[in-house]
Structure 1
C-alpha cells in the first residue's frame, strides 16, 4: 500500500503501531442500507460515525457512489415495474365495457324510478296544498256564517227591545233569556237615573255599535249583510229617537238633570253622532 493511500485512511490510536504494518488494519465492512434510513438523516453526522473506519477517502467515495448507483437502479426498476403494470391495466380490463354498460343501464333505470317517485311526491304535495287551502276556505266560510248568524240574532234582539213593528215573529225567535235578564237589570238601574232610562239607552247603543262593528269585520259587501242594511238603519234611527227624547227631557230638567245630560252626550259620542246631539240642543233652546 502506498504512502499517500496510508495518509488518507481513517483510524485512531498509536501512530507507531499503526504504521508498522498494513496487514494489521481491519478490512472495512460494507455500508449498510439501514445507516441511510434513519429519520432526519444528516451526512455530516453519518460521516462522524466513520472515524474508526480504516478506509481511504477515495475508497469511501467509490463505495458511496456505488451505493448511489444501486439505489438509482432500484428506483428505475421499481418505476419500470409499475409502468409495466400500468400498461397492462388496459389489457386486464378487457371485456369490462359490458359491465360498465350494465352499471350505466342500472343507473338509468334507478334515475327513472327516482324521477317517477319525485313526480308522485310533487302531485301529492299539490293535492295536500289544495286540500289545506280548501280547509282554510271552509273554515273561513264557517266563521263568516257564524258571525252572520250572530249579527242577525243581535239585530232581532235589538228590534225586539226597541219594539219595532217590522220585527213580527223575529221578536219571538230572539233569545228570551237574554232579554229577560237585561230587562231585570235595566229596571234596577233605571231607578237611579230619574226615570230617563240612561242604562237602557246605553245598552241599546252598545248593541247597535256591536252590530255595526261585526258587519264591518265580516264584510259589509256580503249579500246577506247588504240586505240587512235597511234593518240596521231603522235600528239607528230608533236609538237616536229615544236618545233625542231623553236629551230633551234632560235639558228641560235644568240643573237637577245635568248629570244625566252629560251621560247622554257621552252616549252620542260613542255612537259618533255628536252633530245630532248639537242639533237637538239647539232645538231645545228655541
Structure 2
C-alpha cells in the first residue's frame, strides 16, 4: 500500500512537470504557431482501424494539461477507466516530458540571441530605475511648485477682482453724485435761486428764501390790496412747469436716498434741497392764490396744485394756504 502511494505521488510530480513545460512552450510560441503532432497525440492516426475497439488506453492529450483549473489529483482520478498500470502511466508521462523538454530546448536554441540581448538589456536596470525615480521626484516637486504659484496667482486675481468691483461701485456712486449735483444746479437755475457760494462751490445755507424769489414772483407779490383785481397773464405761474419742477426735485431726493442719506456729499446738499423745496412751496402758494383770484375758482387748476402739495408731503402748507384765502 505504501509503495502504491509513493508511486502515485511520483506520477503526480511527473504530471506537474509536463504541465509546467507545456505552459512555457505555449506562452513562448503563441497561438499563431502551428502545433507539432507527435505519435502520442489524440489523432490516433498510427493505430490500425481494426484495433480501435480494443481496450488499449489512448495516448495522453496535451490539451488535458492546459486547462486553467488543472489539478493533478483530479486528472489522475479521471483515468480510472484506463486499462494501464501506474508504471506504464509513469513511463508515458516521462516520455511526454522528455519530448517537451527537447522541444523547449529547441525553442531556446532558436531564440538564443534574443535571450542574450534580453539579459544584456537587463544589466544596470536598477540604476536606470533609480534615475527614473529621481526624475519623477524632481518632476513632482516642479509640479507642486507650479501649483503653489497658480494658487497664489489665483488668490491675487480674486483680490484684484474684488478691488475692481469696489472701484466700479464707487465710480457708479460718483457718477450718480455728479448727476445729482448737475440736476440741483439746473433746478436752481430754473427756479431762479441766486445766492452767494462758499469756498467749496456750494451756495450758503443761511440765505433768505424769500429774497431768492423776488425775480420770479415780484410781479405777483406786490401789495395785494393795491393790485389784487389786476391780472397780468404773463406773470401767472404755469402749473405744468410747476409739475416739471416738482418731478425733478422728487427724482433728486430718490437718488439721494438710494445712495444713502448719510453720505457726506448728500448731507452737504441738504441745505440746497431744502431751499428748493421752500421755493417750490412758495410757488405753489402763489399758484393757488392765482387760481382763486378775483372770485373766479378754477377747480381743475386748484386740484392740480393740491396734488403737487401732496407729492411734496406738504399737506399742512396746503391747508394753511387755503385758510388764508378763505379769510
Q: Could you say if the C-alpha distance between residues 98 and 165 of structure 1 is closer, same or farther in structure 2, counting changes exceeding 3 Å?
A: same
Q: Cα RMSD (Å) of the superposition?
A: 4.1
Query: Structure 1 residues 218, 202: CA separation in 2 closer, same or farther (over 3 Å shift)?
Result: same
Say which SS state the counterpart of residue 51 (structure 2) adopts.
coil
**Which of 50, 53, 57 is the matching residue for 1:54?**
50
Task: Give the corresponding residue for 1:249.
Answer: 290
Aligned positions of 1:141-152 closer than 5 A? 141-152=170-181
Residue 163 in structure 1 maps to residue 156 in structure 2:
no
Q: Tell me which of the two structures has the higher relative contact order, counting C-alpha pairs closer than 8 angstroms and 6 or more residues apart.
A: 2
Instruction: Quote the Cα distance in structure 2 between the aligned partners of 1:155 and 1:144.
Output: 16
Q: Who is 1:106 aligned against? A: 135
Matched residue, 1:176? none
- Structure 1 or 2: larger helix share? 1
Determine whether 1:268 maps to 2:309: yes
Match among 299, 304, 308 for residue 258 of structure 1? 299
Distance 1:243-1:98 versus aligned 2 partners, 3 A rule: same
1:109-151 deviations in whole A, cap 9, x for unaligned?
A: 1111111111222222233223323332333322222221221
Q: Which residue of the partner structure matches residue 257 of structure 2?
A: 216
Change (3 A) 1:204 1:285: same
* Partner SS for 1:67: coil
Residue in 2 that maps onto 1:187: none
Question: Matched residues in 1 for 2:40 and 2:260: separation?
Answer: 104
Distance change (3 Å), C-alpha of 1:31 and 1:238: same
CA distance in structure 1 between the aligned counterparts of 2:189 and 2:63, rounded to whole angstroms: 121
TM-score, structure 1 length as denominator?
0.58
Over residues 195-220 of structure 1, what are the superposed CA-to-partner deviations in whole Å (9 max), with x where a residue is unaligned?
A: 23212211211221121122122222
Equivalences, count: 210
Among candidates 124, 146, 164, match of residue 135 of structure 1:
164
CA distance in structure 2 between the aligned counterparts of 1:229 and 1:220, rounded to whole angstroms = 9
For 1:252 and 1:271, locate their aligned partners in 2 and report how far apart those are by CA, in whole Å: 24
Instruction: For 1:193 and 1:55, locate their aligned partners in 2 and report how far apart those are by CA, in whole Å.
Output: 145
Q: Distance between the aligned counterparts of 1:229 and 1:151, measured in 2? A: 12
- In the other structure, the counterpart of 2:10 is none
Matched ranges for 1:77-116 at <5 A? 96-116=125-145
Question: What does the per-residue CA deviation read over 1:5-50, in whole Å, with 9 as the maximum and x for residues that have no partner?
Answer: xxxxxxxxxxxxxxxxxxxxxxxxx8965x69xxxxxxxxxxxxxx
Asked whether the 8 Å contact 2:41–2:60 carries over to 1, the reply is no
Q: 1:254 to 1:53 in 2, by over 3 A?
A: farther
Q: How far apart, in 2, do the equivalents of 1:219 and 1:141 lie?
A: 13
Q: Which runs of 5+ in 2 are unaligned?
A: 1-38, 66-92, 105-120, 203-231
1:67 corresponds in structure 2 to 60
TM-score by length of 2: 0.52
Q: By how many angstroms is 1:152 displaced?
A: 1.5
Cα 1:194–1:71 change in 2 (3 A) is: same
Is 1:277 aligned with 2:318?
yes
Distance 1:127 1:218 in 2: 30
Please tell me whether the aligned partners of residues 159 and 167 of structure 1 are also in contact (alpha carbons under 8 angstroms). no
